Amino acid sequence: MIVSDLHLHSKYSRATSKQLDITNLEKWGKVKGLNLLGTGDFCHPEWNKELKNNLTGEGILKSENGMDFVLSNEISLIYTQDGKGRRVHVVILAPSFDVVDQITEYLLTKGRIDYDGRPIFKIPAFELVESLRSISKDIEVIPAHIWTPWFGLLGSKSGFDSVEEGFKDQAKYVHALETGLSSDPEMNWRLSCLDKYNLVSFSDSHSFWPWRIGREATIFDMDLSYRNLLNALRTGEGLKSTIEVDPGYGKYHYDGHRNCGVSLSPEETKKVNGICPKCGGSLTIGVESRVEELADRELGFRPAGAKDFKKLIPLSEILCGLLNCGIATRKVWEIFNKLIKEFGNDLNVLLNASQEDLNKIVGEKIAEVIIKNREGKIKIKPGYDGEYGVPLFINKKQANLTEF
């Protein structure tokens, strides 16, 4: 199986780790259990140099230590269409450095590429697709985190009500949609207009740490080649399943106003007419409300041929919640490293390790919660207006974790 995270960033993107380089991507990608990564930020001139110095091949590139990469870049499109300001993020996949150089030349006619790994352009989404297809038909454009309020294709603040509205006659060349942290496939299945698109999940990680990289991923069952990857994204053939976080974990699942500490469900938002009850300002309408607004099906509907998915809270989040300590503390790392040493990688712990084997390594209490996570039984206090959701561990106080 190919376990992929194709939406990542480099140290040249804003608000990212300054150690986010190829060495750390491949090291921590393997710890996570990933075997195919996006490079992120391929058009940034400094990162482009590093990629060319560290990766070899074409289509699927290899690092010195054997990690497979695909050339990728997130682009921010901010423009006006139909009298409304639009903000749409897309992920671009490219087959070679030669094509990347041509993409970069095109983007330079529209603005700068040297100030941020995720640059901003006043290019309508449909124009971008048309222009990139004139460079190479093997370029793939994937709308990123499509439901987030500020920068999602279908987001509440500046998006559209359909893929066709945003991409116009170029919508036929959009084949896959990224669900984003605040939605999962089940939520997207509620819109019949999305049935024709393949749903993918990636982390949008700004660091290499295992609670960020690969927290969402897409699993392919195919021989690894760029041609097969394109075919899987475009037809669904070979696209097996996705790994998602619980949507409540995402930063924009519920409606809310972060400055006032107000978080509301869609039903509660309707009662206050979308107005913050504390300050009287407008609430940021989150993903669940937006899906509800556009849905033409009830929750629980599953389209024919829909791919499976698994909802998981990152392992480090589970450990720090149980231990009531910071996510990067010694206590968490000690247990995390024991588990990786025994089971090989993070995702293998979360998805495959038996409760009996987990009991031997970390004890019954932690093992029980890891299994509950696998079964989707951990409750989440939903995220809102830029705040991550919080896993709730009801029995944490009863857990005997003093040995760690």
Query: In CATH, what number is assigned to the domain containing residue 17?
Result: 3.20.20.140
What rounded mean pLDDT belongs to the chain? 96
Quick check: is 293 in a domain? no
Quick check: is 306 in a domain? no
Rounded to two decimals, the pTM is 0.96
Considering only CA atoms, which of 153, 160, 198, 182 is closest in space to residue 307?
A: 198
Statement to judge: residues 151 and 66 lie in one domain: yes
Distance CA 177, CA 261 (A): 31
The alpha carbons of the chain give a radius of gyration, in whole angstroms, of 21
Q: Which residues pair with 73 in a beta bridge?
A: 92
Backbone angles phi, psi at 309, to 5 degrees: -150, 160
Within 8 A by CB and 6+ apart from 404, the residues are 323, 331, 334, 335
Quick check: is 42 in a domain? yes
Considering only CA atoms, which of 329, 317, 177 is closest in space to residue 245?
A: 317
Domain count, the chain: 2
* Of 231, 248, 265, the domain-final residue: 248
- CA distance between the termini of the chain: 34
pLDDT digits (tens, 9 = 90+) for 259-285: 999 999 999 999 999 999 999 999 999
Quick check: is 260 in a domain? no
Structure-model confidence comparison of residues 127 and 402, the more confident one: 127
Distance CA 168, CA 282 (A): 30
Statement to judge: residues 111 and 203 lie in one domain: yes
Look at residue 399 and tell me whether its pLDDT is greater than 80.
Answer: no
Statement to judge: residues 183 and 80 lie in one domain: yes
Asked if residue 41 lies in contact with residue 356, where contact means CB atoms within 8 angstroms, the answer is: no
Structure-model confidence comparison of residues 395 and 79, the more confident one: 79
* Average of per-residue pLDDT across 250-265: 98
Quick check: is 7 in a domain? yes
Q: How many helices (H) and strands (E) does the chain have?
A: 14, 16
Quick check: is 191 in a domain? yes
Statement to judge: residues 176 and 95 lie in one domain: yes
The H-or-E segment that residue 99 falls in is helix 97-108
Please tell me what DSSP assigns to residue 60.
S
Distance CA 87, CA 95 (A): 26
Statement to judge: residues 131 and 223 lie in one domain: yes
Predicted confidence at residue 159, as pLDDT, reads 83
Predicted confidence at residue 394, as pLDDT, reads 56
Counted residue by residue, the chain has a size of 404
Which tokens go with 123? 């290019």
Statement to judge: residues 318 and 185 lie in one domain: no
Domain with 373, as residue range(s), is 314-377
Look at residue 397 and tell me whether its pLDDT is greater than 90.
Answer: no
Considering only CA atoms, which of 166, 147, 150, 148 is closest in space to residue 158?
A: 150
* Of 229, 248, 267, the domain-final residue: 248
pLDDT digits (tens, 9 = 90+) for 135-177: 999 999 999 999 999 999 999 998 899 999 999 999 999 999 9
Statement to judge: residues 341 and 195 lie in one domain: no
Statement to judge: residues 328 and 243 lie in one domain: no
pLDDT digits (tens, 9 = 90+) for 283-301: 999 999 999 999 999 999 9
Q: How would you class 274 by CB atoms within 10 Å of its CB: exposed for 0-12, middle for 13-18, buried for 19 or more?
A: middle
Quick check: is 14 in a domain? yes
Within 8 A by CB and 6+ apart from 329, the residues are 320, 323
Provide the pLDDT confidence category of residue 398 given band limits of 50, 70 and 90: very low
Distance CA 202, CA 216 (A): 5
Quick check: is 291 in a domain? no
Predicted confidence at residue 404, as pLDDT, reads 35
pLDDT digits (tens, 9 = 90+) for 321-376: 999 999 999 999 999 999 999 999 999 999 999 999 999 999 999 999 999 999 99
Statement to judge: residues 235 and 331 lie in one domain: no
Give the count of alpha carbons within 13 A of 45, CB side only: 7
Statement to judge: residues 242 and 339 lie in one domain: no
